[in-house]
Amino acid sequence: MMSRPDILQVAVPTPLFSLFDYLPPVGCDPEMLRAGVRVRVPFGSTERCGLVLALRKGSELDAGKLKQAIELLEPEPLLQPGDMELLRWAAVYYQHPIGEVVAGALPVRLRRCLSQTHIVHSGWRLTSSGRRVDPESLKRAPRQAQLLSVLGKSPDGLSREEVVLRVGECRQVIRAMEEKGWLETCELEGGANSAGPSARSAPLELNDHQASAVAAVTDSLGGFGVFLLEGVTGSGKTEVYLYLIERVLARGRQVLVLVPEIGLTPQLMERFKRRLGGASVALLHSSLSEKGRELAWQSARSGEASVVLGTRSAVFSPLPNLGLVIVDEEHDLSLKQQEGFRYSARDLAVVRAQRCGCPVVLGSATPSLESLRNALEARYRHLELPLRAGGAVVPTLDLLDVRSVRLEAGVSPTLMRMTEEQLAAGNQVLIFLNRRGYAPQLTCYDCGWIAQCRRCDARMTLHLSSRLLWCHHCGSQRPLDNQCPDCGHGSLKPLGQGTERLEESLQKRFPETGIVRIDRDSTRRKGSLEQLLSDIRKGRYSILLGTQMLSKGHHFPGVTLVGILDVDQGLYGADYRAAERMAQQIIQVAGRAGRAEKPGRVVIQTRHPDHPLLQTLLKNGYSAFARESLGERKEAGLPPYSHQVLIRAEAHRMEDPVAFLEEGAALAREVMGPGVELWGPVPAPMERRAGRFRAHLLVQAGSRPGIQALLARWLPELRKLKLSRRVRWSVDVDPQEML
Ligand code: ADP
Ligand code: ZN
Ligand code: ZN
């Protein structure tokens, strides 16, 4: 009897939910057939690059119908069995097509049928004549002198990234020195880079709280355990991470560190590299080039990088020797992907640690209610850092009642006066307003017309510097009207405050003062955020104003006063998470003040000074607030005391989304177990967005298995509905935003 052939089960990037069976390529050495290699396969009338997830004998398909794969794309598996299991688990849990999940976990070039880039990248080193130049002789070209001495210490050369990290952006300096024949390009090995032992900075002496946190995690190295590290802003969480990383590296294992998008600052990277000395740190974030990402990914995979520091998607990086996972700012919304494959990197980090048997540390000053509940119920170990490290004190928070106060560009006279005082004393002031643009509304004083987005149920934001009306929901823009399109009069007026307007009026009020605005508009150009932040540290600006971009991870030692302009929206938001988010934001922004010797003050303007949430937060702090909120959630049966899945649907015809979800709900009722509830369908909070009508169906259940069992039976039926092809729809497991 002939032995049956091996069948390749391939994840092909398509929106379908199954793996695809293929016969091995013609003449392929059976030894080469391994799970984890990429393979070029025929798919419909085209070819695709897939990844072999498993091999098996035989297929449900007729042998005659099976197609043959075209070629294997590498001799060695790209992913290890553990990596692939995590991807398969995530595809099932988040109900996303496996082929897309797998492709998304690979560097962009490897999603196509391209061969792997070897870990070689180019950099610069000194030529022999460059080595003979004395930096002292370059008094009039200080940056050349600086680069010369930096390269002088690295005879093997430095990558572009390392050069920029040490001396800043310096294209022209490099060109000038190249022309003089002092430096040349060279090839460097490795996708990760190390600071070199000379740059190494010494660890700080831990305080007692830090020391016991380090001890607790160290004790459990080698086995699974989740730790919630709840430490006030500036309490030295990062220092704890660094100690732990050193211990794990000393055991020859790798560490994965996930940070939120705007938390991954050059400052943090520099701190890691300096502290971890010779160890190589691979950075994985969205502003890297495709090639840079691939090199970092490869260095994680080969084990060359001992630390991977990255944003959300780094949770999928291949780490053959993982010994510890750290998730910093674990409450941060950017750890959840909000479109396509809607995974939570924090939750997957926990799953990953569990599967590979290592500890995971979730750190935050403002833990999510999910993690806090797990800690309070002893599923996670709770480690607390209640004090600021290094003697700084946590700033005091005060409410400023602005109910009957005339505001000047959103700022009350009291806050203006306090700002003045701090400026006079030579300190920095930070003003937080989470709304970019000039004004959130443009209106006609004659007829009451308001500039609306033509494609959304939303108002257009006025951006005065670019003379545009801009919808922040769908991105559509149009030139600013000169006169009212309705009545033809010319009295169009901005209403409300955005950061642009705030900047304008503060500049008028403090004409001599350096003011910097940090928001998505002012930092659109690559590298401009870093430039502004570094100018802030150099003391070039005395007033810092901006959106949440300014609130995370940064250390501004000169800031002694923080003004928070607009918290009232969050107090009465439609989303039950609005209060939690607002509290987190207040505490995070407040945490920017008084981080050094100078004590800080935080002032929160509000029209609801008696609001119980604000009162609890101010009097008793975030922990008390969070515990109180947990009580409310428990009573209401809301997450984390239940689990949710949100089905979103949208279409050009108004009736379609609700009709689809109604049919879907009927199907769900047929297969639903006890303890599962359906809410809706209802129109989305913003019913029309980008020209489409939108509706929601919320599924809620007391247990995860209950909801997962429903999804497994229900969604395949939902996909078969005729209407499912007329609407765009998506499944969001553990949704974080109800938009
Ligand atoms: P977090 O990550 O909690 O915001 P960091 O680790 O950034 O805190 O520490 C805040 C500041 O306190 C930093 O300037 C850091 O250098 C300093 N710091 C941290 N731990 C100690 C310590 N044990 N002794 C002195 N200073 C410390
Ligand atoms: Zn008008
Ligand atoms: Zn719009």
The enclosing domain of 339 has a CATH number of 3.40.50.300
Which one of the ligands is nearest to 469 CA?
A: 3
**CA–centroid distance, residue 478 to ligand 3 (Å):** 11
What six digits make up the tokens of 362?
A: 């979730």
Decide whether any atom of ligand 1 lies within 6 Å of the 205 Cβ. yes
Q: What is the mean pLDDT of residues 618-637?
A: 93
Q: What confidence tier does 1 reach under pLDDT thresholds 50, 70, 90?
A: very low
Q: What is the mean pLDDT of residues 214-225?
A: 96
What six digits make up the tokens of 323?
A: 């010994």
Of 111, 145, 179, the last residue of a domain is 111
Helix H or strand E segment including 733: strand 728-733
- Cα dihedral 577, 580, 582, 583, rounded to 10, equals 170
Decide whether any atom of ligand 1 lies within 6 Å of the 596 Cβ. no
Q: Which of 381-385, 390-394, 537-541, 727-731 has the lowest mean pLDDT?
A: 390-394
Q: Which tops the pLDDT comparison, 369 or 185?
A: 369
Q: Which tops the pLDDT comparison, 243 or 135?
A: 243
By three-state DSSP, how is residue 634 classified?
helix
C-beta separation of 568 from 543 below 8 A: no
The pLDDT value given to residue 395: 81
C-beta separation of 335 from 362 below 8 A: no
The ligand 1 atom at the shortest distance from the C-alpha of residue 210 is 23
The answer for 721, left when phi > 0, alpha when psi is -120 to 50, beta otherwise, is beta
The pLDDT value given to residue 309: 93
List Cα–Cα distances, 35 to 157, 173, 406, 739, in angstroms. 38, 48, 68, 39
Question: Do 377 and 401 share a structural domain?
Answer: no
Decide whether any atom of ligand 1 lies within 6 Å of the 233 Cβ. yes
Which one of the ligands is nearest to 484 CA?
A: 2
**CA–centroid distance, residue 251 to ligand 3 (Å):** 53
Question: Do 628 and 616 share a structural domain?
Answer: yes
Q: What is the mean pLDDT of residues 406-432?
A: 92
Look up tokens 């006609």; give the residue. Answer: 444
Q: Which of 123-132, 493-502, 568-577, 596-605 has the lowest mean pLDDT?
A: 568-577
Question: Do 729 and 626 share a structural domain?
Answer: no
Nearest C-alpha neighbor of 563 from the set 391, 665, 386, 421: 421
The pLDDT value given to residue 197: 46
Pocket of ligand 1, candidates 208, 210, 238, 385: which has the most ligand atoms within 8 Å of its Cβ, to mutate? 238
Question: Do 128 and 104 share a structural domain?
Answer: no
Using DSSP bridges, classify how beta strands 515-518 and 441-444 pair: parallel, antiparallel or unpaired.
Answer: unpaired
**pLDDT score of 198 more than 50:** no
The pLDDT value given to residue 679: 93
Which one of the ligands is nearest to 444 CA?
A: 2
Nearest C-alpha neighbor of 661 from the set 695, 627, 634: 695
The pLDDT value given to residue 226: 98
Ligand 1 atom 23: residue of nearest CA: 206
The enclosing domain of 662 has a CATH number of 3.30.70.600
- Cα dihedral 627, 628, 634, 635, rounded to 10, equals 160
In a domain, 137, yes or no: yes
Query: Rounded distance, CA 620 to CA 627, Å?
Result: 11
In a domain, 491, yes or no: no
Question: Do 242 and 340 share a structural domain?
Answer: yes
Decide whether any atom of ligand 1 lies within 6 Å of the 238 Cβ. yes
**pLDDT score of 5 more than 70:** no
Enclosing domain of residue 664: 643-733
Decide whether any atom of ligand 1 lies within 6 Å of the 230 Cβ. no
Query: Rounded distance, CA 324 to CA 340, Å?
Result: 28
What six digits make up the tokens of 485?
A: 């399109």
Decide whether any atom of ligand 1 lies within 6 Å of the 191 Cβ. no
What is the per-residue pLDDT across 493-537, written as a single tens digit (0 to 9) for each? 999 899 999 999 999 999 999 999 998 888 887 778 888 888 888
| Continuous H helices in 498-643 | 499-509, 528-537, 568-571, 578-590, 612-636
The pLDDT value given to residue 714: 95
Q: Which tops the pLDDT comparison, 108 or 198?
A: 108
Q: What confidence tier does 193 reach under pLDDT thresholds 50, 70, 90?
A: low
Which residues are 306's β-sheet partners? Answer: none
**pLDDT score of 199 more than 70:** no
**CA–centroid distance, residue 513 to ligand 1 (Å):** 30
C-beta separation of 326 from 361 below 8 A: yes
Helices (H) and strands (E) in the chain, counts: 21, 31
In a domain, 606, yes or no: yes
Ligand 1 atom 5: residue of nearest CA: 236
What is the per-residue pLDDT across 232-259, written as a single tens digit (0 to 9) for each? 988 999 999 999 999 999 999 999 999 9
Question: Do 167 and 146 share a structural domain?
Answer: yes
In a domain, 73, yes or no: yes
Look up tokens 């006025």; give the residue. Answer: 462
Question: Do 677 and 627 share a structural domain?
Answer: no
Decide whether any atom of ligand 1 lies within 6 Å of the 210 Cβ. yes
In a domain, 314, yes or no: yes
Ligand 1 atom 20: residue of nearest CA: 236
Of 188, 220, 236, the last residue of a domain is 188
The ligand 1 atom at the shortest distance from the C-alpha of residue 231 is 3
Q: What confidence tier does 188 reach under pLDDT thresholds 50, 70, 90?
A: low
What is the per-residue pLDDT across 285-334, written as a single tens digit (0 to 9) for each? 877 788 888 889 999 999 999 999 999 999 999 999 999 999 999 999 99
Q: What is the mean pLDDT of residues 112-126?
A: 73
In a domain, 444, yes or no: no
Decide whether any atom of ligand 1 lies within 6 Å of the 234 Cβ. yes
The percent of residues above 70 in pLDDT, for the chain, comes to: 95
Sign of the torsion formed by the C-alpha atoms of 405, 411, 414 and 416: negative
Q: What is the mean pLDDT of residues 159-186?
A: 79
Question: Do 567 and 552 share a structural domain?
Answer: yes
**CA–centroid distance, residue 486 to ligand 2 (Å):** 5
Decide whether any atom of ligand 1 lies within 6 Å of the 496 Cβ. no
The ligand 1 atom at the shortest distance from the C-alpha of residue 596 is 14
Pocket of ligand 1, candidates 201, 204, 229, 552: which has the most ligand atoms within 8 Å of its Cβ, to mutate? 204
CB atoms within 10 A of CB 291: 14
CB atoms within 10 A of CB 527: 13
Q: How many CA atoms lie within 13 A of 354 on its CB side?
A: 12
By three-state DSSP, how is residue 580 classified?
helix
**CA–centroid distance, residue 304 to ligand 3 (Å):** 46
Of 588, 604, 636, the last residue of a domain is 636
**CA–centroid distance, residue 468 to ligand 3 (Å):** 13
Distant-in-sequence, close-in-space partners of 310: CB < 8 Å, separation ≥ 6: 256, 257, 258, 259, 264, 282, 283, 284, 285, 296, 317
Helix H or strand E segment including 242: helix 237-250
Q: What confidence tier does 591 reach under pLDDT thresholds 50, 70, 90?
A: confident
The pLDDT value given to residue 43: 93
Tally of domains in the chain? 5
What is the per-residue pLDDT across 269-285, written as a single tens digit (0 to 9) for each? 888 888 887 668 898 88
**CA–centroid distance, residue 597 to ligand 1 (Å):** 13
In a domain, 62, yes or no: yes
Which one of the ligands is nearest to 239 CA?
A: 1
**pLDDT score of 402 more than 80:** yes
The percent of residues above 90 in pLDDT, for the chain, comes to: 56
Decide whether any atom of ligand 1 lies within 6 Å of the 499 Cβ. no
Query: Rounded distance, CA 161 to CA 269, Å?
Result: 11
Question: Do 412 and 336 share a structural domain?
Answer: no
Question: Do 214 and 355 share a structural domain?
Answer: yes
Decide whether any atom of ligand 1 lies within 6 Å of the 390 Cβ. yes
Highest mean pLDDT out of 28-32, 359-363, 674-678: 359-363
Decide whether any atom of ligand 1 lies within 6 Å of the 207 Cβ. yes
**CA–centroid distance, residue 441 to ligand 3 (Å):** 13
Question: Do 306 and 219 share a structural domain?
Answer: yes
Decide whether any atom of ligand 1 lies within 6 Å of the 59 Cβ. no
The pLDDT value given to residue 161: 66
Decide whether any atom of ligand 1 lies within 6 Å of the 364 Cβ. no
The ligand 1 atom at the shortest distance from the C-alpha of residue 233 is 4
Average pLDDT across the chain, whole number: 88
Q: What confidence tier does 450 reach under pLDDT thresholds 50, 70, 90?
A: very high
Proportion of the chain in helix, strand, coil states, percent, rounded to 5: 35, 25, 40
Using alpha carbons only, what angle is made at residue 336 by residues 618 and 666, rounded to the nearest 5 degrees? 105
What six digits make up the tokens of 510?
A: 């403090």
What six digits make up the tokens of 696?
A: 């929601």
Question: Do 396 and 384 share a structural domain?
Answer: no
List Cα–Cα distances, 193 to 122, 269, 292, in angstroms. 13, 11, 12
Ligand 1 atom 12: residue of nearest CA: 389
List Cα–Cα distances, 241 to 193, 210, 219, 385, 643, in angstroms. 19, 10, 15, 13, 31
Decide whether any atom of ligand 1 lies within 6 Å of the 275 Cβ. no
The ligand 1 atom at the shortest distance from the C-alpha of residue 232 is 3
In a domain, 363, yes or no: yes
